[in-house]
Homo-oligomer: A and B are copies of this chain.
Amino acid sequence: MDRAVTLQGHWQVLRRWLLLILLMCAAPVATEAQHAGLFLSKSEAQAIQAARGHYPLMDASIAQAESTLEAAMAKPMEVPNPGEAGGYEHERHKQNYREMRLAGLLFSITGQDKYAAFVRDMLNAYADLYPTLGPHPLAHHQKPGKLFHQTLNEEVWLVHTSIAYDCVYEWLSEDERARFEANIFRPMADWFHIRNQTEFDRIHNHGTWAVAAVGMIAYVMGDLSLVEKALHGSQLDGNGGFLAQLDLLFSPDGYYMEGPYYIRYALMPFFYFAEAIHRMQPEVGIYDYRDQILRKAYYAAVETAFPNGIFPPINDASLTMDVAAPEVVLANALTYERYGADDDLLGVTRFQGRVILSGAGLTLARNYAAHGHEPSMNWSSVEFRDGHDGLRGGLGILRTGEGENQSLLLMKYGVHGGGHGHFDKLHFIFYDQGRQVIRDYGFGRWINIEPKFGGRYLPENDSYAMQTIAHNTVVVDQRTQNGFDEDAAEATWGERHFFDAANASAQIMSARADTYYEGVGMQRTMLLMEDDRLQYPVVVDLYRLSSAELHQYDYPLHYSGQNIVSNLTFNTRTDHLQPLGEAHGYQHIWYTASATSDSTIRFTWLDGHRYYSVITAPHPESQILLGRTGAHDPNFNLKSDPVLMIRRQASDHLFASVIQPHGYFNEAQERSDQARPGITDIRVVGHSSEASVVEVFGREGFFWRIMVANGPAEEGAVHSVALGEQVYSWTGTHHVDIGTH
Contacts and interface: CB of A to CB of B under 8 A. Distances in A.
B675 A575 contact: no
A610 interface: no
A672 B450 contact: yes
A574 B319 CA distance: 25
A404 to B, nearest CB: 16
A450 B606 CA distance: 12
Interface stretch (A124-132, A142-150, A233-241, A634-642): A634-642
Contact of A672 (B319, B455, B563, B667): B455
A316 to B, nearest CB: 13
A91 B663 CA distance: 13
Contacts of A631: 574-575
Contact of A670 (B318, B606, B640): B318
A7 interface: no
B634 A570 contact: yes
Contacts of A632: 574-575
Contacts of A455: 672
Contacts of A639: 562
Most chain B CB within 10 A, of A576, A590, A640, A672, is at A672
A36 interface: no
Nearest to A611: B449
Contact of A575 (B448, B450, B578, B604): B578
Interface stretch (A158-166, A213-221, A320-328, A358-366): A320-328
Given A318-B667, A447-B667, A564 B672 contact: no
Contact of A636 (B448, B562, B635, B667): B562
Interface in A587-635: 587, 590, 592-593, 604, 606, 628, 630-635
A577 B577 contact: yes
A677 to B, nearest CB: 11
A258 B578 CA distance: 41
A585 interface: no
A565 interface: yes
A606 B322 CA distance: 21
Contacts of A634: 570, 572, 574
A579 interface: yes
A140 interface: no
Contacts of A636: 562-564, 572, 593
A578 B576 CA distance: 5
Contacts of A260: none
A519 interface: no
A606 B562 contact: no
A653 interface: no
B668 A320 contact: yes
Interface string A311-336: 00000001111101100000000000
B318 A449 contact: no
A665 interface: yes
A271 to B, nearest CB: 19
Given A575-B579, A633-B572, A449 B676 contact: no
Contacts of A373: none
A673 interface: yes
A448 B670 CA distance: 6
A603 to B, nearest CB: 11
Contact of A320 (B570, B577, B667): B667
Given A579-B575, A628-B640, A633-B574, A676 B563 contact: no
A562 B675 contact: no
A672 B578 contact: no
Contacts of A592: 630
B668 A324 contact: yes
Interface in A537-591: 562-565, 570, 572, 574-579, 587, 590
Contacts of A447: 667, 670, 672
Given A572-B634, A672-B455, A449 B91 contact: no
A324 B676 CA distance: 28
Interface in A652-673: 665, 667-673
B667 A91 contact: no
Contacts of A576: 576-578
Interface in A428-476: 446-452, 455
Contacts of A452: 564-565, 675
A254 interface: no
A414 interface: no
Contacts of A633: 572, 574
A82 interface: no
A252 interface: no
Contacts of A669: 325
Contacts of A91: 672-673
A675 B90 CA distance: 14
Given A449-B564, A562-B639, 15 more contacts: A310-B668, A318-B668, A321-B667, A325-B669, A447-B672, A448-B670, A451-B564, A455-B672, A563-B636, A572-B633, A572-B635, A572-B636, A575-B579, A576-B578, A628-B630
11 contacts: A91-B672, A310-B668, A320-B668, A447-B667, A448-B672, A449-B665, A450-B675, A450-B676, A572-B634, A576-B578, A640-B640
The 8 lowest CB-CB distance pairs between A and B, nearest first, are: A451-B565, A563-B636, A577-B577, A320-B668, A448-B672, A572-B634, A320-B667, A574-B632
